Structures are given as structure tokens and as C-alpha cells.
Amino acid sequence: MINTRADKPQDVPHILLINPWIDDFAAYDFWAKPLGLLSIGGTLRGRGYRISYIDCLERFDSRGRAVARVGRFGTGAYRKTVIEKPRKLHDVPRRYSRYGIDEDGFRRRLTDLPAPDAILVTALMTYWYPGAFAVIRTVRDVFPSSPVLLGGIYATLCSGHARKYAGADRVLRGRTEDEVAAVVDEITGFSGNGRSLAGAPDNPPYPCFDLQNATPYVPILTGRGCPYRCAYCASPYLNPTHTRRSPVHVVEEIRYWHKRYGVVDFAFYDDALLIDADNHILPILEGVIHLSLDVRLHTPNALHIRPLSREVAELLHRARFKTVRLGLETACFEQRAVLDQKVGPAEFERAAQNLKKAGFTFDELGAYLLFGLPGQDIGELEASTMVVKARGIRPILAQYSPIPHTDLWEESVKASRYDLEADPLFHNNSIFPCQKTPFSWETVSRLKALAQ
């Protein structure tokens, strides 16, 4: 089944959105959707375009039935096919797979469509570009005359690599929804219908999650960017300005997806959800509580710890947050200045106490600890793990991926046994790329067992 807006006149330009495969050693759907791509689709649809969407990572068939193992809170496994490992990663003793629908199925979905006036392909993690390249090769074969536009995090962080190797007609680096819409207008010569959908609750310009075969969860973005400049994070480069949506608009979007499509699970994608809590997250939480929405809320992108006052913690619990992740990174506070300055030991202690007193359980709380940093002392990671567990919070080892345009990039390049600048494939956190000698399987297993 191809999801499309068949109610549009045939002379209206047809735009195809594609979320590509993931080629990797491991992948799982922990609330991972191409929010940027689907937001662009919503903007274009609001301007009058006819939109089709193919999700190569689709976990459900055309009847909405799961085709792979379903996890908690809307998460789940992708279908996967073992493929040949890239030669550059020959030293990694793990199987390599393509996650998502099979290639023949993808080609059939393409041939069921009329030729698009433009094809928009996204690429998220920098080292996932092989899946996007494979998609572009296939659409070039099926629709040789349709212009292909490549965007997403990879296209922004590694634009030179993308322009040289992707095979797209245009690489859209760091574009907003409106900027991409302007490019599509230019390509198609279509001026849109001039209709503004802002504030229209029955037909708002939300991301087009309704084009999926099923909607087990919806990502929510209440703002872009972050006021902090952490050494390991690319948020300041991807979104140089910290901007916020109206809390009223955020609450209305949650209500819309819950009431219209029965969505229960919502994952916040913000990099700085709790900043200026009094004017942002608190009104959002109060709005959700006031509407008595039977929803479950999640923060996979991690919360800043410093703003977690007793009031914030209590409102998070009352609003039914079920997955609370903290951006701790390390509990060795005397040496963390090289990473960030967003939390101190007393603030972590206070936040942990506030969350536990609010009613959160060990299963609901987790703190990310970076694993695989350049020159990292394993003893410090073990100590951090024990500090977190002692506070009644689950330690979650977050394997470090070196990211271009971050303050830690140059140190990562020097520390790596790979040429990180030559190929984003080497950014893969599964291979611990910033170690001259990779961690042994015994070391990794021991640290993961300690965290459990």
C-alpha cells in the first residue's frame, strides 16, 4: 500500500517523501521517526501539494498489523536482512544488516505511484548514509526524470560528502520546512494555494504521521536548539537559534493526535525541554493534566538535570511521563568541564531525590552515561555507573558517536583508529571509533552487566 492524498487534483504537483533503510550492526525503533521529513510533508500539503510517503522502516503492514516484534510504549523491532558488511568495517566481528522492508517491496511501491514532480529523501545518522544512497539509486532507476533532494542530519553535518557521493540533484543543508517548501516551489513552478492552516484545529499543518500504515506513537518537538554548548553535541550547529513553540499549540497537537488517531504514546524530541520551565514545560504539563488525556509521555532525548525542581518532577509524574531520561553523561564531576557545564553533583542529587519523591520508579528513570569517549578512563565510567545506581536510577550506557562540527570532533579524529574525516561510516558508535584499540567484548559485556 502506498500512502498518498488521492483527493488532490491530478494537475497539482506530486511530491514523494522517502524514509530510507538503515544499514547497521544494530537498530531498534526507540521512538525514531523522520520528524523533519514529515514536517516538510505537512507544510507542503498545507500549501496544496499532493503528498505520498514510503517508509522503508515501516513496522506495520497496510492493515496496520505489526510485522516484527512489538516492544513497550509503541517501540518495536524492524524487519532486517543480513547483508554484506562494508569492506572498510572488515575488522568489526559482527553481522551487518539492512533494516526495513525488502528491496523488491520498495520497488513495487515506487512503480505503483505516478511519477513524482520531486522526491525528498532524508538521512539521519551520519553513518546511515548507505541506506539513503541505495534508495536514491533505486528511485533514479524507476523515475529517471524526477529531481531528487537529499536532506536531514547527514546532509547538514556531512554536506561535502553528500554532494560528492549521494547522487542527489540537490543536497539541502540545514533547511527549515519553509525553506524546503520554497525550493520545491522553485522546482515545480507551483505557487501553492496560499491557504494558511495555522491555528485550524481540524486541519492543522502538523507532520503527516497519518500517511503511515499505523501510528503507534508520535514525536513532539516543542522547540529547536539549545542554549548550552556541550562538547559532544551538534545541536548548536544544527539549530543555531533556540526557538520555542507556544505551550498552547503543543498541548493542542497532543490532544489532536490522541483524539483523532487514538495515539497514546508521545516522545519529546527537544534538546532543551526544561529550560525556562515556568514559561514553557510547566504550562504544557498543566495543559495535558487539565485535559485529562489518557496518554504516556517519554523523553528519549534526555532532560537537563538542573531545572528538575520538586514542582517540575511532580508535574512530570502527574502528566504521566513513563520514560524519563537524564543527560548526566558522567558522574565524575571534577573532570566534566571538558564535556559540559550543565550539572553539578548537588544538582544531580537534588534532581534524583525530587523524581523519586514525585513517585517515579527505577524502571521509569534512566541516566545516560557516555561510553567510548576519546581517552576515556573505564574506571571513571564504572564509578559513574555505581553513583547512578546508588541514587535509585538506571544507568544507561550511551555509546559515543563522533560528530562533525562539535567541540570534541578534533580530539575524536586524533584518537580514532579510523579516518573519521574521510568517511562518515566510521562515525558508527557500535564500533567504538574513538579508541586506538577497540574495547574487548569482555570489557563491553562487563560494563553493560554492571549497568543492569
Mean pLDDT (the chain) is 93
pLDDT above 90: residue 178: no
Task: Give the domain 3-188 fold.
Answer: Rossmann fold (3.40.50)
Global pTM value = 0.93
Spatial separation of the C-alpha atoms in residues 177 and 156, rounded to whole Å: 14
Least confident of 88-102, 136-150, 330-344, 427-441: 330-344
Distances (CA, A) of 339 to 214, 290, 301, 334: 39, 39, 17, 11
Q: In this structure, are residues 333 and 371 in contact, taking their beta carbons and an 8 Å threshold? A: no
Query: HSE on the CB side for 111, CA within 13 Å?
Result: 9
Fold of domain 218-451: TIM Barrel (3.20.20)
As given in the structure block, the three cell numbers for residue 381 are: 565510567
Q: What is the pLDDT of residues 140-170, one digit of tens each?
A: 999 999 999 999 999 999 999 999 999 999 9
Q: Is the sign of the CA dihedral 101, 103, 104, 106 positive or negative?
A: positive
Q: How confident is the model at residue 314 (pLDDT cuts 50, 70, 90)?
A: very high
Q: How many helices (H) and strands (E) does the chain have?
A: 14, 17
- Residue range 259-304, pLDDT digits in tens: 999 999 999 999 999 999 999 999 999 999 999 999 999 999 999 9
The pLDDT value given to residue 35: 96
CA angle 383-385-389, nearest 5°?
A: 120
CA dihedral sign, ordered 48, 54, 57, 60: positive
Residues 6 or more apart whose Cβ sits within 8 Å of residue 207: 35, 38, 39, 41, 42, 219
Residue type, 20: P
Condensed to tens digits (0 to 9), the pLDDT of residues 199-256 reads 343 446 899 999 999 999 999 999 999 999 999 999 999 999 999 999 999 999 999 9
**Chain centre distance of CA 353:** 29
Q: What confidence score (pLDDT) does residue 92 get?
A: 92
Q: What pLDDT is attached to residue 202?
A: 42
Give the side-chain half-sphere CA count within 13 A for 12.
19
Q: What's the per-residue H, E or C state across 303-369? A: ECCCCCCHHHHHHHHHCCEEEEEEEEECCCHHHHHHCCCCCCHHHHHHHHHHHHHHCCCCCCEEEEE
The sheet with strand 265-268 has its strands ordered as 217-220, 265-268, 296-303, 321-329, 365-371, 394-399
Share of the chain above pLDDT 70, in %: 95
- According to DSSP, residue 89 is labeled G
Residue partners of 421: CB distance under 8 A and separation at least 6:
413
DSSP summary character for residue 239: -
Show me where the domains of the chain are located.
3-188, 218-451
